[in-house]
Amino acid sequence: MNPEPASVACVRAPKHLAIVMDGNGRWAERRHRPRSFGHREGQKALRATVEYCLRRGIGSLTLFAFSSENWLRPADEVGALMQLFLKALDREVDELHGHGVRIEFIGDLSAFSTELRERMLRAMEKTRGNRALFANVAVNYGGRWDIANAARLAAAAIANGELADANLDEKSLAPFFALASQPPVDLFVRTGGEMRISNFLLWQLAYAELVFIDTLWPDVDAAVLDGCIEEFARRERRFGRTSAQVAITTGQEPT
């Protein structure tokens, strides 16, 4: 892996980067190829992004790979995506494990075939001890599902006497969400030109910086990611405070 240029390496990087990888189908259609071709090309951008995060010391990367709404797409496209998942698990897990990447699938895995689900579970178990990068892959995931699932888990904890209902608040509910053990998402990027979050990480994005870019996912490379990180570094993150208060805590002039 090549080191980052000094001008990029000194830029403040997020601890947790979340990406909606949009534009595979349109990328293929512009080249008069089937949409599945775009999904295959998108895997190259995924590998480049993982390598980028490892170089920059970004500890958590969460990728929106397959939403709960994506089942509504044409059956042949969904089938092609499932096959890509299977092949990617066979091909990529050992290499990711070798780089210290921990793989975590978040979402309702029960909807997938037994074969695919078992491979996901094996990949998670194999890489569980790794710490160089948490690579979270959201599959059959929706932010509303995550909130409802957290509520169900909290209700079960209350029924079991593990949590008092009178104590249920944001802090006590937070551990029941996906990604609860990782830093909050501080940078959200969506490729492909659409400017919405599409039911992704509704709870976790509460204070994230949102960046929307026109680049289609298969064209994402280190230079594109550098631009997103530089935009993130320019943002003043106040978390409800004033610029003057932020300046006191950071030692910087208010912007």
* Spatial contact of 210 and 235, defined as CB atoms under 8 Å apart: no
pLDDT > 90? residue 69:
no
Q: Domain ranges in the chain?
A: 11-142+183-250
pLDDT, one tens digit per residue, over 146-157 is 999 999 999 999
Q: Which positions ≥6 away from 119 have C-beta within 8 Å? A: 86, 89, 90
Tell me, letter by letter, the H, E, C secondary structure of 12-46. Answer: CCCCEEEEECCCHHHHHHCCCCCHHHHHHHHHHHH
Residue 255 has a pLDDT of: 44
- Helices 114-126, 75-98: axis angle to 10 degrees equals 20
Calculate the average pLDDT of the chain.
89
**210, burial (CB in 10 Å: exposed 0-12, middle 13-18, buried 19+):** middle
Q: Which pLDDT belongs to residue 85?
A: 80
Nearest-angstrom CA–CA distance, 141 and 121? 16
Q: What is the CATH number of domain 11-142+183-250?
A: 3.40.1180.10
pLDDT in tens, 182-229: 999 999 999 999 999 999 999 999 999 999 999 999 999 999 999 999
Q: What global pTM score does this model have?
A: 0.88
pLDDT at residue 74 in the model: 84
Residue 128 scores a pLDDT above 50: yes
Residue 31: per-residue pLDDT: 95
- The single residue of 2, 22, 108, 199 carrying the catalytic annotation is 22
**Residue 24 catalytic?**
no
- Residue of 63, 75, 77, 74 lying closest to 107 (CA atoms): 63
pLDDT digits (tens, 9 = 90+) for 229-250: 999 999 986 556 565 655 565 5
What sign for the dihedral angle of Cα 31, 36, 41, 46? positive
* Burial bucket for residue 144 (CB in 10 Å: 0-12, 13-18, 19+): exposed
Q: Per the residue annotation, which of 2, 70, 94, 136 is the catalytic one?
A: 70
Total residues found in the chain within this entry: 255
Is 219 among the residues known to form the active site?
no
